[in-house]
Amino acid sequence: MPRTLDGQAPQTRLPPGSVDTHMHLYAPEYPQRTPGPLIPRDCPGLAEYRQLQRWIGLERVVIVQPNAYRDDNRCMLEAMAELGDSARGVVVVTPETDIEELAYLHTRGARGARIMQLPGGAVGVDQLLEVNARIREFGWHCIVQFDGREMLDRAPLLRQIDNPYIIDHIGKYLGPVTTESAEFKALLELMDRGNCYVKIAACYESSHTGAPDYADTAALSRALIAHAPERILWGSNWPHVSQSVEGAPNDADLLDRVCGWIPNEKVLEQIFVHNPLALYDFE
C-alpha cells in the first residue's frame, strides 16, 4: 500500500481546477493480461484515489491505462463512468482498432493513446505513427514513453508528428544525464516545435541521486519548466506500483517537492490547470 495519506497534508495549495494527468487504477475483478507486469497485491483503488484527491487539492484526473491490463481498457472505463466529466482517459489502442471503437472510447472520455517502449508496454514506438494517424481526427494525442537515452535516435520519428503529443516522465532518462547532455537538448528542441509536451511525473523512477531531493531529475524538471512552461504537465503516478511499499513516496511530500521546482504561482496554475484543461478537453 503506498504512503498516500501518511503524515501531514501538503503545504502547497493547488489552484481550483487542478488536474492530475497521470495515475493508474487497478481492480480485482479485472485480471492482469500477460505479458504485462504483475499487479501488486492489495493495490489501492478508486476510493483511495478519491481520498488522495481531496487530501492534496485535485479536482480532475487523467487515468492512464496500466501496462498490466495491456489493451483491456475496461477498468479505466468503469472508473471514468463513476467520476463523470472530472475524468479523462489515456487508453491502449492499436493500428487495427476500428473507427467505431475509437468513437465509443471518445464518448466514454478517452482523449489519448499510450505508446510504451519499455518492458511490459502493449504498443511500442514502431506503431506510433499508425496509432497517431487513427486518433488525431478525434483530437486525441499520444503519450510516449521510452528510455530517454535514446532521444537522439527517436527524435526523427517524433518530428514526423505535427499534432500534439506528450513525452512521459521527464523524458525517462534511465542513465544519468545533465541539462547539457545532447539527449536532453534534443528534448528541448522537440519542445521548440510547439506540439511536444513533457510530463513532470515519477521523478523517483529515473533519479540516480534519490530522495528526498531527487537532485538530478529536479535539475531536468526546472530546465524544462523554464524552457516552455506552456507545454508542461504534472502527474502523480499514483499508486507508485514500480516502488516497494517501503520505497513508495509520500504523495504530499512529493507534491511539495515538485511544486518547489516551479518558479511562481502563475506558472503553477498554468501547469496544473490551463495546460491540461486545453489538452484533455475538460469542460
pLDDT of residue 1: 40
pLDDT of residue 246: 64
pLDDT of residue 267: 98
Rounded Cα distance between 199 and 179, Å, is 16
φ/ψ of 233, rounded to 5, equals -125, 160
Rounded Cα distance between 5 and 55, Å, is 7
pLDDT of residue 37: 80
Q: Residue 41 corresponds to which cell in the numbers above?
A: 497485491
- Apex CA 18: angle with CA 48 and CA 246, to 5°? 40
Q: What DSSP assignment string belongs to the chain?
A: ---SS-SSPPS--PPTT-EEEEE----TTS---TTSPPPPTT---HHHHHHHHHHHT--EEEEE--GGGTT--HHHHHHHHHHGGGEEEEE---TT--HHHHHHHHHTTEEEEEEE-STT-SS-GGGHHHHHHHHGGGT-EEEEE--GGGHHHHHHHHTT--S-EEE-GGG--SS---TTSHHHHHHHHHHTTSSEEEEE--HHHH-SS-TTT-HHHHHHHHHHHHH-GGGEEE---TT-TTS-TTTPPPHHHHHHHHHTTS-SHHHHHIIIIIHHHHHTT--
pLDDT of residue 180: 98
pLDDT of residue 80: 97
Q: What is the pLDDT along the chain (283 residues), one digit of tens a residue?
A: 444 556 688 999 999 999 999 999 999 999 888 877 888 788 899 999 999 999 999 999 999 999 999 999 999 999 999 999 999 999 999 999 999 999 999 999 999 999 999 998 999 999 999 999 999 999 999 999 999 999 999 999 999 999 999 999 999 999 999 999 999 999 999 999 999 999 999 999 999 999 999 999 999 999 999 999 999 999 999 999 887 766 789 999 999 999 999 999 999 999 999 999 999 999 7
φ/ψ of 159, rounded to 5, equals -70, -15
Any residues with CB less than 8 A from the CB of 275 and at least 6 apart, and which? 197, 230, 231, 232, 233
Question: Which residues are catalytic, by number?
Answer: 237
Q: Are the C-beta atoms of residues 236 and 25 closer than 8 Å to each other?
A: no
pLDDT of residue 2: 47
